[in-house]
Amino acid sequence: MTPSKLTQIIGLVGLLFTLQGCVTAKVDEMTYNPPEAGVGASSVVLLGRRHASNYDTERDFVQCVRNHIQGKDDSIDIVEEAQFLDALYPWFEPRTAPMHPGAIRELLAQPAVARKIQALDTQYMIWIDGNTERTDASGSMTCGVGPTGAGCFGFGTWSDESNYEAVIWDFSNQAEVGRINTSTSGQSYMPAVVVPIPIIAPVQGTACDGIGEQLLQFLSAKY
C-alpha cells in the first residue's frame, strides 16, 4: 500500500469518527431581575430533581451544566451538588426537597439550616428537572470472530430526546426569578462494514450547552 493511499484511509476513518448525527434544539428562556454585576462572591447551587417515579435528572447532566458555566466564567462559585446535599442532609433529599420557593422560608426558620446556608453564602438555587431518553431504535448488526480476524456487518439507528427545565430561585428574596426550558432530539447511526462507525447525535450535550449558555447569561457579568 502506497503512503498516499494509507493517508487517504486514515483520513477517511478520522472523518467518519468525527461525524456527528444531527440534533434539533429549542431553548425557551424567561428570567427576571438578573444580577447586573453578576453573582459576585456569593455562591450558586445546581441541583437535579429526583422525586419522579419514572426518571431521575442525571447527575452527569447537572455536572455538565456546571462545567459549561464555570468553563466560560470561572469567577462564578457553583457549589458541587453532592457537597450541598450532604451539607444540608436531610433537607434536600428527593422526599424532603422544597418544591416551591416559599418553602425556603420554612427551611431557614431552622437555625441549623440557616447557619449552613449562610456559611455557603448561596444566592441562587437552580433546580434542573428532566432527562434524556431513547425514543426509538432499529436495525441489526452481526459481529463475528474467525481465524483470520474479527468484524461486524450491519446498520443500527436510534433516536434520543432530551427535555430539561431549569428553575432559578433567589435565596434572599425567596422567589422564583427565572425558568429555562430546552428540548433537543437527534438521530444517531452506526453503519458497520468490518468496523462499526458510530455517528452519534450529541442530544444531551446540546441540551447541556443550551441550558448552560442561558444560565451563564443570567449569572455572569461578562455575558
Partner 1 sequence: MGLTTIDKQVSSLRAAVLALCLFLLSACGANQVIVESQFPQPTLEPIPVTLGVYFSEEFKTHTFVDDPENDTERSWVVETGTAQVNLWQNILNAMFAKVVYLDQPPSTDAPTSQVQAVLIPTISDLQYAIPAHTNTKVFELWLKYELALTNNTGQPIADWVMTAYGKTPDAFMQSNQDAVGAAAIVALRDAGANFAVNYPKVPAVNAWIQDSTATTSPLEDTR
Beta strands at 43-48 and 77-79: parallel, antiparallel or unpaired: parallel
Cell of 85: 446535599
- SS3 per-residue string spanning 129-172: EEEEEEEEEEEEEEEEEECCEEEEEEEEEEEEEEEEEEEEEECC
User: Whose Cβ is closer to partner 1: residue 28's or residue 133's?
Assistant: 133
| Distance, CA of 94 to CA of 190 (rounded, Å) | 37
Which span (36-44, 94-102, 144-152, 202-210) binds partner 1, by CB under 8 A?
Answer: 94-102
Based on the shown chain and the rule CB under 8 A, indicate whether residue 18 belongs to the binding site for partner 1: no
User: Whose Cβ is closer to partner 1: residue 65's or residue 219's?
Assistant: 65
Determine which residue in the list 95, 138, 140, 148 makes contact with partner 1, applying CB under 8 A.
95
Based on the shown chain and the rule CB under 8 A, indicate whether residue 105 belongs to the binding site for partner 1: no
Based on the shown chain and the rule CB under 8 A, indicate whether residue 75 belongs to the binding site for partner 1: no
User: Whose Cβ is closer to partner 1: residue 55's or residue 155's?
Assistant: 55
Determine which residue in the list 11, 14, 71, 94 makes contact with partner 1, applying CB under 8 A.
94
DSSP assignment of 91-137 equals TTSTTTS-SSTTHHHHHHTSHHHHHHHHHHTEEEEEEEEEEEEEEEE
Residue numbers 46-65 binding partner 1 by CB under 8 A:
54, 56, 58
Determine which residue in the list 2, 3, 18, 90 makes contact with partner 1, applying CB under 8 A.
90
Residue pair 73/222 in contact by the 8 Å Cβ criterion: yes
Determine which residue in the list 7, 16, 28, 86 makes contact with partner 1, applying CB under 8 A.
86
Instruction: Give all strands of the β-sheet with 43-48 in edge-to-edge order.
Output: 23-31, 175-196, 149-170, 122-146, 43-48, 77-79
Q: From the CB of residue 27, how many other CB atoms can be counted at a distance below 10 Å? A: 17
Which span (20-28, 83-91, 121-129, 169-177) binds partner 1, by CB under 8 A?
Answer: 83-91
Determine which residue in the list 88, 128, 177, 192 makes contact with partner 1, applying CB under 8 A.
88
For the bound state, the minimum distance from the C-beta of residue 30 to partner 1, rounded and expressed in Å, comes to 29
Where do contacts with partner 1 occur on this chain (CB under 8 A)?
54, 56, 58, 85-91, 93-96, 110-113, 116
